[in-house]
Structure 1
Amino acid sequence: GYFICCRLMHDKFKWRFNLVSGLIAAVALLQGFYGTYSQFEVPEIKVQRLEVNNLPSDLQGLRIVQLSDIHLGPTLKGEFLAGVVARVNELQPDVVLITGDLVDGTPEKMLPEFAAFKDLKATYGIYAVSGNHEYYSGFRQWQPLFEELGLNFLHNRSVSIQVGSSAINVAGVPDRRAAGFGFAGADVQQALSKLDPNAAYTILMTHEPPLALETAGQADLVLSGHTHGGTMFFLQPIVGYFNADFVSGFYELPKGGRLYVSNGTGVWSGFPCRVGVSAEITCFVLTKAQS
């Protein structure tokens, strides 16, 4: 009788274990399907307000939109970019900043997919830096084509953007892999060497977050991408390990200034899935800090 009872108990727990395991597997599978399907949808706007001490009135409410890691290629096509452009234009941005990884593919295959960039509007211009995938896709061919579409690449240099009687600095560096493809490598200090000293705010663009540690407090805000926010929430510690613990959102930099790491606007075709980490179009709004 004892052995029969044990066998019945074993079968009962085994049945429950198999049921729970099956439910967990089903939920994980559904999350995976949803995480892949949702990447074809245009991301929502994430608004981030930047409080700035002594902000001039000309810069009050200035809207700066960041796009990052769009990754047009085998997975995301021109229709996705057109949706992104339409959503950005609704914001009536003053400046658009693109922090790399626009494309996965050669101009011969992918150039028609970027036609919507001609419709992207920003009062004071559209600026960009390269990501690692630009070099894998042939950046020497892509750069002049992107520039014809209205993108201005800031590689180891800066511009002063005049807004009324005030100004902001926008600087940028290429991806760290640039030197391996015959381009000048990333030089943060060179990028920040000719800033307008009268500008009220300075932004540096870099595709990979760790380069923010080289700013030495010379930038008020560093914008980056590359990490996709970790892609899946449980992978964030691993992604952080390879990116100086910078994965998603705001970070205070040790020598001053802040870093913002975008979750990315698109998704890489090599791993087209997100779980618990939403893609984003980020809109930063400058506001005067309350005294």
Structure 2
Amino acid sequence: MSVDETVEAKPRRRGSRAVFGTVIAVVVLLLFGVPWATLVWSGNAWPAPVFIAGTALFLLVAAGFPVLMLRGHGGHSDAAARAADVLLGVVWVLFTWSVIGQAAGLLLALAGVADPMRSRAVTAGVLVISAVLLVWGYAEAMRVSRVRNVEVTLPRLGPGLDGLRVVLITDTHYGPIDRSRWSRGVVDVINSLDPDIVAHTGDIADGQVAQRLSQSAPLGDVRAKYARVYVTGNHEYFSGALGWVEHMTSLGWDALHNRHLLVSRNGDSLIVAGVDDRTAAGSGLPGHHADHAAALAGADPSLPVLLLAHQPQQITGAVDHGIDLQLSGHTHGGQMWPFHYLVRIDQPVLQGLSRHSDRTQLYTSRGTGFWGPPFRIFAPSEITLLTLRTPTPTPTS
């Protein structure tokens, strides 16, 4: 880089930081400002001490929130991360229901209900609904995921593999909240399903292997008749991807780093392939990028292919390479309503089984764990049992 290019790069970096800082400031202002306006200001006509105390509380928490986020997720402080994540979940719910509450307030105004009764009714409604959803959402996030049963017909699947049981877990996100007992419970459920193949499609953890050893240790006890397979998610590339690939290998899992293996039963075979997450190329790790051609190199093109790819958006590559079924996670099903509307801007599918070509289907899990805020609202977690089926023969007349 020349001296001129260096001089030009510095203003660009400063400009990028300024834009980023402005965006963060606007987001924080909205997230905390809308609930403040609804609960404290608006037409509530609270006594002056209540108004001052409420305003001071919102200002204090809003100012502390970015600091906690930076120390927690940037500085790797689990205590700060826990506080920031809980706070993010609480303010998201308050923001969502404050917006809905403001709309309800307009309806009450049209019905002739005057302030301060109208605004105080809205405030009470927002607080009660938010409290109920947060308690319920926390219980949903912390419980061992329910099993979701799905049958998938693959036209090219040989009869010897009919009924093959594939258990999918994804987005376990072992993180600042110690969920070692939860992890053990998930493994107990997996083993109870008597799987032929167990797949983990990434985002194992937020943190380095050494930080999350106790939470990830139960994965070593997962049982499967034919294969335990894993691919990286985007969060591995924030948390030492090479370490997690090596750790999963040490636990007895096959890390499908742009490669495949063969599963055979009763004379028929299935290719089980995996590709890196689509963000891997930007990580700077040599050889890490989503490479479907490498993953399928040397594979018999007549055999059906089960592909592990972390993000549903990677379905384009699966269609281009004639994949029969892609398994993905990443979306969390939105995790906290109505965040799913934002997820759909980035991803083609939110959750469930979908078809993307005559041959290619995609199953997107809502995720087994959670990221960040320890809440799941209208987006339950899942351990998925996929039963693969051959087509039912068409009766002849």
TM-score normalised to structure 1 length: 0.89
Query: Structure 1 or 2: larger strand share?
Result: 1
Deviation at 1:93, TM superposition (A): 0.1
Give the equivalent residue in structure 2 for 1:140.
242
CA distance in 2, matches of 1:281, 1:250: 14
Give the equivalent residue in structure 1 for 2:306.
203
Give the equivalent residue in structure 2 for 1:271.
373
CA distance in 2, matches of 1:283, 1:15: 51
Deviation at 1:282, TM superposition (A): 0.5
Query: Which residue of 149, 172, 177 corresponds with 2:251?
Result: 149
CA distance in 2, matches of 1:11, 1:246: 42
Deviation at 1:58, TM superposition (A): 1.8
Label 1:242 to 1:54 Cα distance change in 2 as closer, same or farther (>3 A): closer
Query: Structure 1 or 2: larger helix share?
Result: 2
Contact 1:189 1:214 in 2 (8 A): no
CA distance in 2, matches of 1:87, 1:195: 33
Contact 2:178 2:215 in 1 (8 A): no
Query: Which residue of 343, 361, 374 corresponds with 1:258?
Result: 361
Give the equivalent residue in structure 1 for 2:338.
234
Deviations 1:145-192 (A, max 9, x none): 211111111121111111121111111111122232313211123223
Contact 2:140 2:380 in 1 (8 A): no
Give the equivalent residue in structure 2 for 1:219.
323
Label 1:255 to 1:111 Cα distance change in 2 as closer, same or farther (>3 A): same
Give the equivalent residue in structure 2 for 1:33.
135
User: Is residue 275 of structure 2 the alignment partner of residue 163 of structure 1?
Assistant: no
- Give the 5 Å matches for 1:27-176: 27-53=129-155, 55-176=157-278
Query: Which residue of 192, 205, 219 corresponds with 2:296?
Result: 192
User: Is residue 386 of structure 2 the alignment partner of residue 281 of structure 1?
Assistant: no
Label 1:252 to 1:37 Cα distance change in 2 as closer, same or farther (>3 A): same
Segments of 5+ residues of structure 1 without an aligned counterpart are: 1-8
Contact 1:158 1:194 in 2 (8 A): no
Deviations 1:93-124 (A, max 9, x none): 00001100011111222113222122110000
CA RMSD between the two structures: 2.0
SS of aligned partner of 2:279: helix
Label 1:103 to 1:11 Cα distance change in 2 as closer, same or farther (>3 A): closer
CA distance in 2, matches of 1:122, 1:58: 18
SS of aligned partner of 1:176: coil
User: Is residue 352 of structure 2 the alignment partner of residue 249 of structure 1?
Assistant: yes
CA distance in 2, matches of 1:110, 1:81: 11
CA distance in 2, matches of 1:207, 1:66: 12
Contact 2:197 2:225 in 1 (8 A): yes
Larger Rg: 2
CA distance in 2, matches of 1:97, 1:121: 11
Contact 2:260 2:296 in 1 (8 A): yes
Contact 1:167 1:198 in 2 (8 A): no
Contact 2:180 2:214 in 1 (8 A): yes
SS of aligned partner of 1:73: coil
Higher relative contact order (CA 8 A, sep 6+): 1
Contact 1:175 1:207 in 2 (8 A): yes
SS of aligned partner of 1:234: coil
Deviation at 1:64, TM superposition (A): 0.4
Mean alpha-carbon deviation: is it higher for 147-156 or for 110-119?
110-119
Deviation at 1:256, TM superposition (A): 3.6
CA distance in 2, matches of 1:64, 1:229: 20
CA distance in 1, matches of 2:385, 2:218: 20
Letter in 2 for 1:128: Y
Label 1:233 to 1:254 Cα distance change in 2 as closer, same or farther (>3 A): farther
Deviation at 1:16, TM superposition (A): 5.0
Deviation at 1:198, TM superposition (A): 4.5
Label 1:54 to 1:130 Cα distance change in 2 as closer, same or farther (>3 A): closer
TM-score normalised to structure 2 length: 0.66
CA distance in 2, matches of 1:154, 1:25: 47
Label 1:255 to 1:193 Cα distance change in 2 as closer, same or farther (>3 A): farther
Deviations 1:213-264 (A, max 9, x none): 1122511111111111111242222111112x32211222146411111100
Segments of 5+ residues of structure 2 without an aligned counterpart are: 1-110
Contact 1:192 1:218 in 2 (8 A): no
Give the equivalent residue in structure 2 for 1:5.
none
Deviation at 1:55, TM superposition (A): 4.2
Letter in 1 for 2:226: Y
Give the equivalent residue in structure 2 for 1:3.
none
Letter in 1 for 2:134: G
